[in-house]
Amino acid sequence: MANSDDVSKRLGEEMRAISVAQFFEKNKHLLGFDNLTRALLTSVKEAVDNSLDACEEADILPDISVQIQQVDASRYKMIVEDNGPGIIPNKVGEVFAKLLFGSKFQTFGGKQGRGQQGIGISAVVLYAQNTTGKPARIITKTKSAKQATVVEVKIDVMKNEPIILSQTTIDWKNEHGTRVEVELEAKYVEKKASVSEYLKETAIVNPHASIKFVDPKGNKEIFKRVTDDLPKKSEKMKPHPYGMELGTLERLLKVTSARTLSSFLTTEFDKVGGTTATEILKVAGLDPKIGPKFITIEQADKLIKAMHSAKIQSPSTNGLSPIGADILKKSLESEYKLDFACSVTRTPSVYKGNAFVVEVALGYGGELDIEGPISLFRFANRVPLLYQQGACALTKATTTTSWKNYGISQSGNNMPTGPLIVIVHVASVWAPFTSESKDAVASIPEIVKETKLALQECGRLLGVFIGKRNRSQMAAKKREMFKNYSIELARELSKITNQDEKTLLTKLLQIAEEMYKSGQLKPEEEEAQLAKIEKRKVGAFKKDKDEDGDDYE
């Protein structure tokens, strides 16, 4: 599992040795620019993530519009505009044209955020510049500014510094917000892993956002806002001792302002009070009064072992910001016509000192495709995971759930089939990914288990719905069957006895109605009996079949 800290550190070190351009070229696959389709998707994702984060930070309900225009065969222009707080003009260069490595670089704790999952918008600017030579064009306006600032910016690939090509001001229709325009080598696809699909999924897990999309052909799509409640702001959380690793502890010991080991433990860590600190230090055999800066690596090692083995309360979960079961369900229903939807938000749980929470929503029937595998949408911290489905723990949890129990077809541990959408969202301060490209959640047993429990909880509700529906469909079918047989019977009896066919039929249907009412005829419960009869009529032996000869030719 990649620890973001380590990655950031490594990336930082590499940076010193080579230019950003070289670095980018070398690490394209890690950054999500390894092919033309993905490059476009990553660009949209970075821009939209930025917009969503900016709006939430400023308590603004996001209105985001995304537009893709085709320039020539393999060249596209991406325009993303938001109603965020805007950027002060002299910060534009730094935001868009200096590669930073996520906000986690300086912190030891953390908060649940989208930023965990990308290198940032400046990578998009760099990619655009590398492939088309064109600068990014930014329009931004803060509420207090009279006019919007228009900046054309490139990255100095040797120094990792912005180059401002031009900076002007214009009148702008928006009160505040930011617009990014970049031109890049890309390939636009429809359907799977498309921009539209990505935005739709993003909309599902960001029900407070309104997202508009205009594709290269000029078709418009609007993903409407489902709730006016902004997500609860995730708070910065202190690290929990259980999740601590040696390298991180060493650095923390160096930068802490605590004077003694004892106060280091109580101030820098989650859920560590005086008693727990004393306990840990006793086990580690360290003097509580030592200054943290004087701890040797051997002592740090003892300390971390004691931290891992101590009995400490589970980490706080207030830093987590799940979407919420009701809103998730509403959101799903607003994107798809469904016959049934249900959702669940599990109570927070913990892996290795990291709090996480799993949410699942299921949508069934309606306009969904009856054939083929179900649609599984995976999300980590409100960001869709579009690649590496097979390697993802959320996929594993889905395929190892016994869907047959809930009326959904599945062979073995394969992806089930049928008109079903499964949404799995993991929210965590430290979402564990299989690799730095952050496409798949690592198979942490606790996460797989929680996901399965959530799927089962929803599955049971789905099973009840499907069962009920099957029974009522069956009952309707049986009624229809009795009616059809009655028509046949009335006709034959009428032919034999010369009685009036219509009178007979009316009478037969009356009898049926009375029997339904009195409960003497319960078509939905006789399915089992019918199955039994079907079974019984199978013949045994080929040569016996024509016993008595005249039965067959």
Binding site for other proteins (CB under 8 A): 478, 480-485, 487-489, 492-493, 495-497, 499, 504, 507-508, 510-512, 514-515, 520-521, 523, 526-527, 529-530, 532-533, 539-541, 543-553
List CB contacts of 133: < 8 A, sequence separation 6 or more: none
Nearer to other proteins, 57 or 525 (CB): 525
Name the residue with tokens 């909880």: 457
The 3-state DSSP class for residue 375 equals strand
Sign, CA dihedral 541-543-546-549, equals negative
For the four alpha carbons of 24, 27, 30 and 32, in that order, the dihedral sign comes to positive
Minimum gap (Å) between residue 481 Cβ and other proteins: 7
Measured from the CB atom, the residue of 453 and 475 that comes closer to other proteins is: 475
The 3-state DSSP class for residue 54 equals helix
Judged by beta carbon, residue 156 or residue 524, the one nearer other proteins is 524
* Tokens describing residue 496: 């034999």
CB atoms within 10 A of CB 220: 10
Structure-token match 């306990």, residue found: 279
The least distance separating other proteins from the CB of residue 471, rounded to whole angstroms, comes to 13
Cα atoms found within 13 Å of the Cα of residue 92, Cβ hemisphere only: 29
Shortest distance, position 468 Cβ to other proteins, whole Å: 19
Report the nearest approach of other proteins to the CB of residue 539 (Å).
8
With beta carbons less than 8 A apart as the criterion, state whether 344 and 359 touch. Answer: yes
91 versus 483: smaller Cβ distance to other proteins: 483
- Measuring CA to CA, which residue among 64, 47, 66 is closest to residue 124? 47
CB of 464 to other proteins, least distance (A): 24
Judged by beta carbon, residue 347 or residue 529, the one nearer other proteins is 529
Give 1 or 531: the residue with its C-beta nearer to other proteins. Answer: 531
At closest approach, how far in Å is the CB of 234 from other proteins?
Answer: 57
Residue pair 108/254 in contact (Cβ under 8 Å)? The answer is no
Closest CA to 379 of 317, 315, 318, 454: 454
What is the chain's alpha carbon radius of gyration, rounded to the nearest angstrom? Answer: 31
How far is it, in rounded angstroms, from Cα 10 to Cα 26? 14
The DSSP output letter for 145 is -
Spatial CA neighbour of 87 closest among 180, 211, 155, 156: 180
Q: Please write down the HEC assignment for all residues of 473-494.
A: HHHHHHHHHHHHHHHHHHHHHH
Q: Are strands 161-170 and 375-380 parallel, antiparallel or unpaired?
A: unpaired
Cβ closest to other proteins, residue 222 vs residue 530: 530
Kindly state the tokens that stand for 395. 């996929």
Which three-class secondary structure state does DSSP give residue 370?
coil
Interatomic CA distance for residues 507 and 505, integer angstroms: 5
CB of 546 to other proteins, least distance (A): 5
Which residue stretches of 269-386 are H helix?
A: 274-284, 297-309, 325-335
Beta bridge partners of 478: none
Q: CB of 84: closest distance to other proteins in angstroms? A: 58
> Which tokens belong to 534?
């079907």
Q: Evaluate whether 149 touches 169 at the Cβ level (below 8 Å).
A: yes
Name which of 367 and 514 has its Cβ closer to other proteins.
514
- The token duo for 406 is 């809930």
CB 76 within 8 A of CB 70: yes
Closest distance between other proteins and the C-beta of residue 518, in Å?
Answer: 11
Q: Considering the complex, what minimum distance in angstroms separates the CB of residue 493 from other proteins?
A: 5
Nearer to other proteins by Cβ, of 195 and 512: the residue is 512
Nearer to other proteins, 11 or 490 (CB): 490
Minimum CB distance to other proteins smaller for 326 or for 488? 488
DSSP lists the bridge partners of residue 181 as 79, 137
Report, in Å, the least distance between residue 417 CB and other proteins: 24
Nearest CB to other proteins, comparing residues 289 and 532: 532
Sheet containing strand 136-141, strands side by side: 161-170, 148-156, 136-141, 177-185, 75-82, 63-72, 210-214, 220-223
Q: 298 or 553: whose CB is closer to other proteins?
A: 553
Q: How far is the CB of 510 from other proteins (least distance, A)?
A: 7
Tokens read off for 147: 């006019």
Q: How far is the CB of 470 from other proteins (least distance, A)?
A: 15
**Nearest approach, Cβ of 486 to other proteins (angstroms)?**
8
Of the pair 10, 522, the CB lying nearest other proteins is at 522
d(CA 346, CA 343): 10
